[in-house]
């Protein structure tokens, strides 16, 4: 039997995935097909603290221009969205989306007692905790726990990266991080690992946990790779990191994979110095990648099924600093992009620059309420169970 299995592996057949699974897990294997119209959420993290005020610009606000004599983006440079708001000139495609009704902007999102450390504030956003709580699981990890109880492949949420973010680590399950399906497949395609996995007998809890993770990884890697090859995208994507990552996401969305959440990051937006160039470079990368992605989705009639949510761990201070940049701030705006938005445009009032806390914006929307809305309305999940508390459900999706 062992000899046969070895032969089988040498042929390199993808179909071996299920054979390789330990017996005690195999019982849980279910078909993982997705009904048409599968709703998908793409979370796009702006790492480093994106400057929200130079992203969505209050073009009629004197305080803004007085606080930023050098960095403020003049009204005629900003791409005008409404009477009072313009968008950063490096984001022309987002302006297009705004005009056609596929972009929603939520202003002043944050949390009480904001923390200005990147790492800590990112933890708070990723775990959906209060600022004085230390939580070791992420909000999307807990979503995964709820979606995949007893299933064999935790592919309902995927991160496009080499390393998994805390956001996608659940109590029972952890999502997969992959830079691209082929690379993941190759790194799991070690005969040695597969054979170890295949012959593992039930032992005590710690070893079993490791083998369970190994088994899920191997079978998910095969599954994801197979799926990603089914509908190779014909859309041209920019050759940037984000461009490639969106291409990967798109190829999976077009397949029959059961993934509902994709997670991807762009950065670093930590613009203490020389903000203009750095933000412009990152926004151009963002603009071009999102543009290709949306066109791809539209031409495959899937734009209605996808919502992109963007966030950053904090915004930046209202006033510019002395080095052509801005320092860590508090509340920030978030984008929602998709063909299935129920409300679009500016979803709430622009920041009130007359009402600051020591030079920082006050939050008017708790980010956990945004999470609750997406979980409940878009993904049809139990937001209270996942977030540990009932937050206000909004109506933008």
Partner 1 sequence: MAENANELSSVTQKELYKILQKTSSKKPEPLNVASNAFDGLVKGVQDIGRMQNLTQEQKKQLRKQSAEDIKSLNLTWLSEMINSEAQLREKMSLFWHGHFACRVINIYYQQELLNIIRQNALGNFGDLLREVSKSAAMLSFLNNQQNKKQHPNENFAREVMELFTMGRGNYTENDVKEGARAFTGWGFNLRGEFTNRPFLHDSGDKNFLGKTGNFDGDDIIDIILEQKATAKFITRKIYKFFVNEDVDNNRVELLSEGFYQSNYDLNKLMISIFLSDWFYEEKNIGIRIKSPVELIVGVRRLIPMELERPEAQLLFQRVLGQVLFYPPNVAGWPGGKNWIDSSALLFRMRLPQILTSAEEFLINAKDDDDVMMGKEGVDNKPKAKQVNATIDWDVVFKVFEQTAKENLLKRVNEIVLQTKNSVNPNILKRYIDNASREGFIKSAMVELMSTPEYQLC
Cβ neighbours for 367, distance < 8 A, ≥ 6 positions apart: 109, 110, 111, 125, 128, 311, 334
**Are 387 and 128 a contacting pair, CB within 8 Å?**
yes
Name the residue nearer to partner 1 (CB basis): 242 or 334: 242
Rounded to a whole number of angstroms, the minimum distance from the CB of residue 199 to partner 1 is 5
Buried b (16+ CB within 10 A) or exposed e, 56-66: bbbbebeebbe
Name the residue nearer to partner 1 (CB basis): 67 or 373: 67
**Residues of this chain that bind partner 1 (CB under 8 A):** 2, 6, 47-49, 117-120, 123, 134, 136, 161-166, 169, 174-179, 183, 187-188, 192-193, 195-196, 199-200, 203-207, 209-211, 213-214, 216-217, 220, 241, 265, 267-268, 270-273, 278, 321-323, 325
Name the residue nearer to partner 1 (CB basis): 282 or 350: 282
DSSP code for 376: I
Rounded to a whole number of angstroms, the minimum distance from the CB of residue 88 to partner 1 is 18
Name the residue nearer to partner 1 (CB basis): 32 or 175: 175
Rounded to a whole number of angstroms, the minimum distance from the CB of residue 280 to partner 1 is 12
Rounded to a whole number of angstroms, the minimum distance from the CB of residue 77 to partner 1 is 23
* Euclidean distance between the first and the last CA atom of the chain, given in angstroms as a whole number: 53
Rounded to a whole number of angstroms, the minimum distance from the CB of residue 8 to partner 1 is 14
* 3-class DSSP assignment, residue 44: strand
Q: Residue 353's CB: how many other CB atoms inside 10 A?
A: 16
Rounded to a whole number of angstroms, the minimum distance from the CB of residue 60 to partner 1 is 30
Distance CA 318, CA 384 (A): 34
Rounded to a whole number of angstroms, the minimum distance from the CB of residue 109 to partner 1 is 19
Name the residue nearer to partner 1 (CB basis): 83 or 192: 192
Rounded to a whole number of angstroms, the minimum distance from the CB of residue 289 to partner 1 is 15
Preceding amide of 33 cis, omega within 30:
no
Distance CA 160, CA 147 (A): 20
Beta-bridged to residue 311, according to DSSP, are 45
Distance CA 80, CA 86 (A): 4
Complete DSSP assignment for 302-349:
-GGGEEEEEEES--B-SS--TTSS--B-S-EEEEEEETT-SS-EE-SP
Name the residue nearer to partner 1 (CB basis): 59 or 122: 122
Name the residue nearer to partner 1 (CB basis): 78 or 164: 164
DSSP code for 134: -
Length of the chain: 397
Name the residue nearer to partner 1 (CB basis): 129 or 233: 129
Rounded to a whole number of angstroms, the minimum distance from the CB of residue 155 to partner 1 is 10
Name the residue nearer to partner 1 (CB basis): 159 or 296: 159
Which helix (H) or strand (E) segment is 144 a member of? helix 139-147
* 3-class DSSP assignment, residue 365: strand
Name the residue nearer to partner 1 (CB basis): 85 or 178: 178
Query: How, if at all, do strands 332-338 and 103-110 pair?
Result: antiparallel
Rounded to a whole number of angstroms, the minimum distance from the CB of residue 204 to partner 1 is 7
Residue 27 class from Cβ within 10 Å (0-12 exposed, 13-18 middle, 19+ buried)? Answer: exposed
Beta-bridged to residue 335, according to DSSP, are 105
């Amino acid at each position: 039997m062992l000899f046969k299995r070895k032969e089988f592996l040498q042929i390199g057949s993808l179909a071996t995935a299920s054979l390789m699974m330990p017996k005690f897990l195999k019982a849980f294997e279910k078909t993982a097909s997705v009904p048409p119209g599968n709703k998908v959420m793409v979370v796009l993290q702006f790492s480093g603290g994106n400057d929200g005020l130079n992203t969505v610009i209050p073009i009629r606000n004197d305080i803004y221009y007085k606080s930023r004599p050098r960095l403020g983006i003049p009204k005629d440079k900003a791409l005008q969205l409404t009477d009072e708001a313009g968008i950063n000139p490096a984001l022309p495609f987002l302006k297009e989306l705004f005009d056609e009704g596929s972009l929603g902007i939520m202003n002043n999102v944050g949390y009480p007692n904001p923390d200005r450390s990147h790492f800590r504030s990112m933890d708070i956003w990723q775990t959906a905790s209060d600022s004085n709580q230390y939580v070791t699981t992420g909000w999307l990890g807990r979503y995964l726990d709820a979606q995949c109880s007893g299933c064999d492949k935790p592919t309902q949420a995927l991160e496009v990266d080499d390393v998994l973010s805390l956001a996608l680590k659940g109590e029972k399950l952890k999502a997969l991080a992959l830079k691209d399906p082929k690379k993941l497949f190759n790194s799991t395609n070690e005969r040695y690992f597969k054979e170890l996995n295949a012959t593992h007998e039930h032992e005590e809890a710690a070893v079993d946990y490791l083998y369970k993770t190994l088994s899920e990884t191997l079978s998910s890697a095969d599954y994801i790779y197979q799926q990603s090859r089914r509908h190779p995208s014909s859309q041209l994507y920019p050759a940037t990191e984000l461009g490639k990552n969106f291409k990967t996401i798109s190829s999976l969305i077009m397949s029959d994979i059961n993934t509902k959440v994709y997670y991807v990051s762009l950065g670093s937006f930590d613009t203490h110095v020389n903000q203009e160039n750095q933000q412009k470079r990152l926004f151009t990368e963002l603009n071009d990648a999102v543009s290709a992605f949306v066109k791809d989705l539209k031409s495959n009639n899937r734009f209605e099924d996808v919502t992109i949510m963007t966030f950053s761990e904090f915004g930046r201070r209202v006033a510019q600093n002395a080095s052509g940049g801005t320092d860590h701030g508090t509340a920030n705006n978030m984008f929602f992009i998709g063909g299935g938005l129920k409300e679009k445009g500016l979803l709430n009032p622009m920041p009130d620059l007359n009402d600051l806390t020591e030079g920082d914006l006050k939050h008017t929307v708790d980010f956990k309420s945004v999470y609750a809305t997406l979980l409940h309305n878009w993904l049809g999940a139990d937001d209270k169970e996942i977030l540990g508390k009932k937050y206000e459900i909004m109506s933008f999706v």
